[in-house]
């Protein structure tokens, strides 16, 4: 009896100290992550401009369904995400395979290619504004002086060129990240596999196609999902470099939502509407996340 | 024979003829990766007049520190730098503390609510940040915390511990429980085990958490942008510098001198941290991708 009391008291004391340690950080998480999610879920069904709010059911979603700019933003987001994926992943694979080989100055090349990853995406946007400026930028100056163009290029003046520029910048910034992850994956491939292939008389290309890429598969899928999930939330680079212009030609889901929330760029604040767009964006992102879990369950034996 | 055998685990390794081509490719890629920042860095020492003319020169005609002086004194960048240092420093320190405590609680202890908490962490990895910015802004303004950096720091701490906690959990799984148990027998409480036994052993993962959190917070843009819309004095560098991109100077020209000097001021500290501790960056990011 007495012993049971002591055990219970010890357990209580343990619980108190555990909650004391976990409590404060988790409270912050609830306040600034979980509560905002519920807030969005609620106000998606309200007409709300920051001051007055009234329940409107699914009206916001109905308007959103026919909102051309929103669909343009969704389209642009998908183009940016999968465009940079289509160029960036193969490129990163090439450099990872090269740098996994016997190359002098490996560490230098790895670090140099990783360097752009360090910089804030917002500052990257600013750097490319500086480089691409029509009148003072070095890119135009170089092209003009080499005679390739006769008039300065306004790369950000057409939607197609703006999107292409954004994709290329994303590839530029993401290469080192993806490459480093792939290198980690390559180093996990057992060398016995290559030794066996040599004995069977395989050449370099066969080793790449039948050993390296299949063995790297799980890591490739992880990398792709990370790029997709982060890509769908793209905001910083776009907001600094193009502001969604010209004529919403480079608007993304999050820049569009941000503008409605904060009355930017001549938008009238409509937080209710922005909340419903947030829910829609959330659905798009979760759909991709769901796909990811489906895939990763297959890879349970990895790692 | 031995040579073939050695290079066998490395595709491309054996083909001597392809080597020069590979080096050419690597050098070209390095040039592309480094050129934008290198150009902006060199340009930061040009005079404002030279910047307005443009041209193809990489090195400044006349080497000057004036852009930095102007940015530091006239354009409030001293304030932005101080904000960035405080913001990233405090968030990083708290995140290290929080993520190790959360990781310890989740991995080593069983308590009511644990499953829910852990589940909500995994769930929020996919959604947090981008779409919930407005309610966060409302909360901070409602509590009148937007006048100082405190509001920004608290709001950032809400989400900054998620990935680090998962990293700590992964690392703790590799530390035998017998260590905790023997400490308990010696009379340590839950907090004692954390502080005296596990914290010293977590040093490697704390290094990783410090680096990724510092980099992430220093580079953070969206949240500080939203929370400082009405409080320009509270802006960190990433927001303060970029907010000048669409503001023209006195002669109706873009303020290239400020933009260029400011970009460098935002990049140089993180580059120094990287040179000093790049193994933590690389370790952190592969750990994040594999475990997360």
- Our CA-based measurement puts residue B2 at a distance from the nearest CA of chain A, in whole angstroms, of 12
Residue A250 C-alpha from the chain's centroid:
16
B150 — pLDDT class (breaks 50, 70, 90): very high
- B286–chain A Cβ distance below 8 A for any pair: yes
pLDDT at B55: 75
Summarised one tens digit per residue, pLDDT across range B18-37 is 788 889 999 999 999 999 99
The whole-number average pLDDT for the span B70-81 is 86
Tell me how many residue pairs between chain A and chain B have CB atoms under 8 A apart: 293
CATH superfamily membership of A68-298: MetI-like (1.10.3720.10)
Residue B249 has pLDDT above 70, yes or no: no
Which of B178, B159, B177, B169 is CA-nearest to residue B202? Answer: B169
Backbone CA torsion sign across A154, A159, A160, A162: positive
Cross-strand bridge partners of residue B248 = B254
pLDDT at B197: 86
- Three-state secondary-structure class, residue B8: coil
Q: Which of B289, B291, B292 is best to mutate for the A interface (most A CBs within 10 A)? A: B289
Residues 21-40 of A with CB under 8 A from B: 21-22, 24-26, 28-29, 31-37, 39-40
Cα(A30)–Cα(A34) distance, integer angstroms: 5
The answer to whether the Cβ–Cβ distance between A172 and B33 falls below 8 Å is: yes
Residue B235 covered by a domain: yes
CATH of residue B243's domain is 1.10.3720.10
pLDDT at A303: 43
The answer to whether the Cβ–Cβ distance between A136 and B256 falls below 8 Å is: yes
CB contacts of A35 in chain B (<8 Å) are 135, 139
Cα(A171)–Cα(B180) distance, integer angstroms: 46
B116 — pLDDT class (breaks 50, 70, 90): very high
Q: The tokens of B193 are what?
A: 């085990």
Residues in chain B: 292
Query: A147 exposed, middle or buried (CB, 10 Å; 0-12, 13-18, 19+)?
Result: exposed
Which of A266, A265, A259, A269 is CA-nearest to residue A73? Answer: A259
Helical ranges in chain B per DSSP H: 2-7, 19-43, 48-53, 66-73, 77-108, 114-127, 133-142, 149-160, 162-172, 177-185, 190-192, 199-201, 203-219, 222-227, 237-242, 256-276, 278-291
Q: Which of B3, B10, B163, B188 is best to mutate for the A interface (most A CBs within 10 A)? A: B10
B284 — pLDDT class (breaks 50, 70, 90): low
- Our CA-based measurement puts residue B104 at a distance from the nearest CA of chain A, in whole angstroms, of 9
Cα(B149)–Cα(B228) distance, integer angstroms: 9
Cα(B184)–Cα(A67) distance, integer angstroms: 62
pLDDT at B14: 47
Which of B209, B232, B213, B221 is CA-nearest to residue B270? Answer: B213
The whole-number average pLDDT for the span B74-94 is 92
Residue B6 has pLDDT above 50, yes or no: no
pLDDT at B8: 41
Residue A232 near residue A253, CB atoms below 8 Å? yes
Residue B187 covered by a domain: yes
Residue B168 covered by a domain: yes
Residue B178's domain comprises 75-291
Summarised one tens digit per residue, pLDDT across range B127-143 is 656 778 888 998 998 88
The answer to whether the Cβ–Cβ distance between A184 and B286 falls below 8 Å is: yes
Residue B278 has pLDDT above 80, yes or no: no
B279 — pLDDT class (breaks 50, 70, 90): low
**Mean of all residue pLDDT scores within chain B:** 83
pLDDT at B82: 93
Residue B59 covered by a domain: no
Residue B150 near residue B106, CB atoms below 8 Å? no
| Regions of chain A short of the pLDDT cut 70 | 1, 264-267, 292-293, 295-303
Which chain A residue has the Cα nearest residue B26?
A: A109
Rg (CA), chain A: 25
The answer to whether the Cβ–Cβ distance between B26 and A243 falls below 8 Å is: no
What are the domain boundaries of chain A? 2-43, 68-298
Residue B184 near residue A11, CB atoms below 8 Å? no
Helix axes B19-43, B256-276, angle to 10 degrees: 130
Q: How many structural domains does chain B have? A: 1
Residues 21-60 of B with CB under 8 A from A: 22-23, 25-26, 29-30, 32-34, 36-37, 39-40, 43, 51-56, 58
Residue B15 has pLDDT above 60, yes or no: no
Helix axes A159-186, B278-291, angle to 10 degrees: 90
């Amino acid at each position: 009896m007495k012993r049971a009391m002591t055990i219970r008291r010890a357990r209580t004391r343990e619980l108190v100290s555990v909650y004391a340690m976990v409590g404060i950080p988790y409270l912050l998480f609830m306040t600034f992550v979980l509560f905002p999610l519920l807030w969005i879920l609620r106000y998606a069904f309200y007409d709300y401009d920051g001051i007055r709010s009234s329940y409107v059911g699914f009206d916001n979603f109905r308007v959103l369904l026919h909102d051309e700019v929103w669909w343009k933003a969704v389209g642009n987001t998908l183009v940016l995400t999968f465009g940079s994926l289509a160029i960036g992943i193969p490129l990163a694979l090439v450099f990872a395979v090269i740098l996994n080989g016997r190359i002098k100055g490996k560490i230098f090349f790895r670090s140099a290619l990783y360097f752009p990853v360090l910089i804030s995406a917002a500052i990257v946007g600013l750097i490319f504004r500086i480089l691409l400026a029509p009148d003072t930028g070095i890119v135009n100056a170089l092209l003009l002086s080499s005679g390739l163009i006769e008039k300065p290029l306004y790369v950000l003046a057409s939607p197609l060129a703006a999107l292409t520029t954004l994709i290329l910048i994303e590839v530029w910034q993401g290469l080192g990240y993806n490459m480093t992850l792939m290198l980690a994956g390559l180093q996990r491939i057992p060398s016995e596999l290559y030794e066996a292939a040599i004995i069977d008389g395989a050449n370099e290309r066969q080793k790449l196609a039948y050993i390296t890429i299949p063995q790297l598969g799980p890591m490739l899928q992880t990398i792709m999902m990370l790029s997709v999930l982060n890509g769908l939330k793209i905001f910083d680079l776009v907001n600094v470099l193009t502001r969604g212009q010209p004529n919403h030609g480079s608007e993304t889901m999050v820049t569009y939502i941000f503008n409605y929330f904060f009355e930017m760029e001549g938008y009238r604040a409509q937080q209710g509407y922005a909340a419903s767009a947030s829910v829609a964006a959330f659905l798009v992102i979760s759909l991709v996340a769901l796909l990811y879990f489906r895939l990763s369950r297959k890879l349970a034996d990895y790692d | 024979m031995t040579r073939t055998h050695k290079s066998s685990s490395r595709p491309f390794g054996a083909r001597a003829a392809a080597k020069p081509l590979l080096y050419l490719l690597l050098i070209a890629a390095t040039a592309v990766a480094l050129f934008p920042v290198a150009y902006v860095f060199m340009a930061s020492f040009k005079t404002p007049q030279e910047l307005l003319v443009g041209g193809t020169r990489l090195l400044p005609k006349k080497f000057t520190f004036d852009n930095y002086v102007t940015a530091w004194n006239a354009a409030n960048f001293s304030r932005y730098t101080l904000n960035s240092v405080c913001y990233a420093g405090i968030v990083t320190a708290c995140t290290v503390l929080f993520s190790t405590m959360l990781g310890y609680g989740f991995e080593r202890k069983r308590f009511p609510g644990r499953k829910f908490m852990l589940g909500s962490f995994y769930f929020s990895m996919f959604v947090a940040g981008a779409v919930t910015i407005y309610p966060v802004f409302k909360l901070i303004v409602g509590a009148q915390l937007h006048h100082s950096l405190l509001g920004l720091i608290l709001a950032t701490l809400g989400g900054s511990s998620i990935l680090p906690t998962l990293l700590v959990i992964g690392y703790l799984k590799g530390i035998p429980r017998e260590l905790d148990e023997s400490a308990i027998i010696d009379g340590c409480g839950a907090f004692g085990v954390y502080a005296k036994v596990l914290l010293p052993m977590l040093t490697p993962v704390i290094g990783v958490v410090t680096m990724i959190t510092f980099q992430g917070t220093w580079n953070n843009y969206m949240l500080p942008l939203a929370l400082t819309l009405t409080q320009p004095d509270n802006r960190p560098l990433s927001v303060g510098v970029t907010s000048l991109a669409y503001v023209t100077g006195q002669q109706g020209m873009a303020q290239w001198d400020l933009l260029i000097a400011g970009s460098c001021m935002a990049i140089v500290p993180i580059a120094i941290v990287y040179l000093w501790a790049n193994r933590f960056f690389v370790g952190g990011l592969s750990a994040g991708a594999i475990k997360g």
